[in-house]
Amino acid sequence: MARGHEAFPRRWRLLRDPPAGAARNMAVDEALARCREEGVGVLRIYRWARPSLSFGRNQSARRVYEPAAFGPLGAEVVRRPTGGREVLHDRELTYSLVLPLRTPGGLREVYHLVNRALAEALASVGIGGARLATPSTRTPSPDAGACFREPAAGEVEVGGRKVAGSAQVRMGDTLLQHGSLLLAPSSLSLGALVRDGLPSGTVPEQEGVTLEELLGGAVAFPRIAAAVEAALAGTLGGRWSRDALTPVEEELARELEERYRSPEWIWRR
């Protein structure tokens, strides 16, 4: 929620991180948000070391997913600081953006601007027809099924199938938004992670469409990352430069990682 309005940051830090564990990825996103400097925004592009399921901040997970199912499958599980529903992160590009709340239009305008930029990025790599979903007549609750199952209003879809999903959290006067572009199908299915005896028809599925399918062939991560960076830089303006975590951010990320790793947080609902 905005407090008055100010322009987008004049300076942007661009971090492109190697694949990392699920708790580390969430901890770094939160550390970047907690350490935000006035007038400086952050775009982080990252990947996941192993297939990882992330729950939305307030999503009920315990009644659907089996905590013991993840380890034997080489998968991880984490709960995000942001809203929305579960996402299976595997062969995808994930981004996070950190910026002040006091930007023109506030939370919702940032959401739409970023999604428009993602649609432009897709167009720049040869995927036509990406558009923003129109408002649905019903409002999905945090327990309404996997995030990629259907596009929410303003999210990027191609032919009615969701291609990018994003979520936000307000932390004091800072906005953290992160989201995913599916590059290729995961080797894992959500059905392998659920509790025994879940009624048929209630087993979640991650649907959506991958860039591999849309492009008809293998997708090079660096190419998509460059397209996303260019589109967001063009949309948000300012001066962009490559950067890394500061020592303070690194220390905070290490502290936060413990929380994101804890069963009390992951399985809180």
Partner 1 sequence: MSDIPSGLRYTEEHEYLKSTDEEGVFLVGVTDYAQGELGDVVFLELPAAGDSFEKGAVFGTIEAVKAVSDLYAPVSGEVVEVNSALDDDPALVNSDPYGEGWMLRVRISDPSEMEDLLDSEGYTNLIGED
Residues that bind partner 1 (CB under 8 A): 1-5, 56-58, 81-84, 106-108, 111, 139-142, 152-153, 166-171
147 has catalytic annotation = yes
Nearest CB to partner 1, comparing residues 152 and 214: 152
Nearest CB to partner 1, comparing residues 91 and 178: 178
CB of 225 to partner 1, least distance (A): 23
Closest to 28 measured CA to CA, from 243, 257, 248: 257
CB of 80 to partner 1, least distance (A): 9
Sequence-distant (≥ 6) Cβ neighbours of residue 216 within 8 angstroms: none
CB of 83 to partner 1, least distance (A): 4
CB of 180 to partner 1, least distance (A): 13
**Under 8 Å between Cβ of 153 and 136:** yes
Q: What are phi and psi of 163, to 5 degrees?
A: -120, -20
Measure the CA–CA gap between 33 and 31, rounded to whole angstroms: 5
Assigned token pair, 251: 């220390």
Closest to 151 measured CA to CA, from 142, 137, 162: 162
Nearest CB to partner 1, comparing residues 170 and 195: 170
CB of 118 to partner 1, least distance (A): 14
Nearest CB to partner 1, comparing residues 117 and 227: 117
Closest to 71 measured CA to CA, from 89, 47, 52: 52
- State the number of CA atoms in the 13 A half-sphere of 59 facing the CB: 27
Assigned token pair, 58: 């307030």
Tell me how long the chain is: 269
Helical ranges in the chain per DSSP H: 22-34, 106-124, 211-215, 221-236, 247-261, 263-266
CB of 14 to partner 1, least distance (A): 24
**Under 8 Å between Cβ of 132 and 116:** yes
Q: Which of 147, 176, 183, 232 is catalytic?
A: 147
Nearest CB to partner 1, comparing residues 24 and 178: 178
Nearest CB to partner 1, comparing residues 9 and 56: 56
8 class by beta-carbon count within 10 Å (0-12 exposed, 13-18 middle, 19+ buried) = middle
Assigned token pair, 39: 């007038």
Annotated catalytic sites, by residue?
147
